[in-house]
Amino acid sequence: MVSTLSSLMDSLKISKYPMRWNSIFESAMEKYEANGCELVDERKLHEINDKYRIFTRYFDKILLAAKLIRENEQLSRFLTLLDMAMSDRAAFRNDMKSLELPKAPNGIEHLGFDLVSFFVFPATIPATYAEYCAHYVPENIIREVLMEYEGCIRGYELRNGKPGYNMGYLSWGQLIVDSLLLRIGRFNFELVPSFQGGIKVFRNQSGEEKVFADGIRLHRSGAALGSPKYEDEEGAYDANFVETDEYWEGYPIIEGGLAAPQRIKIEKRHWKLVLQQGDPVVNVHIPPNEDFSPEICEQSYIEANKIIKRCYPDFMYKAFLCYSWLMDPQLEYLLKTDSNIITFQRRYTRFPSVSSGNGVFSFVFLKKYERLQELPENTSLERALKKHYLGGNYIYESGGFFLV
């Protein structure tokens, strides 16, 4: 019997969890006492997979992990609590900022611990499927989206050598629960109700665009302050934006996605504001290891534009958006000018955004390496990136957009 939230967390080696969970702990434990942990009920897992056929590669592992969780009271209680926390959608988004997942003790089978967070998702699939159907999303797209759950297990295995689910995948799955993700052709497209990038974008009657930094603190170089090598406050400045009856004034974004050091004005009679914070946008996510040819990418944008406008006519999005290491202008000096990556990034207008500089270690060098010298050199991309990092440099997850 677990009497307090802290004792449950201690038993699972969890040192960080949301304070909000204290208010729902008793209800979650009452639910567990009454019904056990229904999320790992083998019969229900079979029913879901028999109907939707989306667990095709790891279903045996999923069933084994479910059995191990049923046999572990602490894990079962944690999973019941996690599920109850997730039912409050807005609160759970904040919860994830202060949440750790259970850690397996030495000497026991890890699979139940490694996959425990996955099991909040299967029970949500019927409601998610119904929501997509209500918007007349094509069946093949719904299926591709729901298969992301198992795809995350595969992604974890590629990076760690065993099946699992981490906080990153728990967060990613929330987009599917909320029916905000569409897999269309080459890309995953996320419906983002409110753009949060630090820019304003203007267009004139000739179709020219001007981009201004807005509401972001900038390094003296024009990069976003806070990224590696751009953390020095000396000469840093706030990209405040001014609007009068006649003109807009601010720091323009120049080639390479940096802000210029001098402010400029543009007249309202010639320019129209077409993108700013708070506008709906579509975020582009890039699944790895698939055809990245310009033709395939462009077709994906075209199809996405058609499907989103047809299925979500009230979602009046202003632009396609992408935050990725693939946006870094430095790649133009590391790769051939006609490479697919360079063609991809040139479709977008880049802008400053705070970056970790570690994106390539999640999407190129999948496995963890203790030293940069150990990074593989199997492809020209790997060789170029390894040399770049050994030189003390970074590849940044820059922001990019193009208007629709």
Distance of alpha carbon 306 from alpha carbon 282, whole angstroms: 13
Regions in the chain scoring below 50 on pLDDT: none
Give the per-residue pLDDT at 306: 98
Strand partners, 258: 254
Return the closest-CA partner of residue 250 out of 292, 210, 197. Answer: 210
Q: Are the beta carbons of 224 and 396 closer than 8 angstroms?
A: no
Give the per-residue pLDDT at 369: 87
Give the per-residue pLDDT at 160: 93
Give the per-residue pLDDT at 370: 87
pTM of the model: 0.94
Give the per-residue pLDDT at 289: 83
Give the per-residue pLDDT at 313: 97
Give the per-residue pLDDT at 73: 96
Q: Which two tokens stand for residue 351?
A: 């802008």
Distance of alpha carbon 68 from alpha carbon 75, whole angstroms: 9
Q: Is 336 exposed, middle or buried (0-12, 13-18, 19+ CB in 10 A)?
A: exposed
Give the per-residue pLDDT at 1: 61
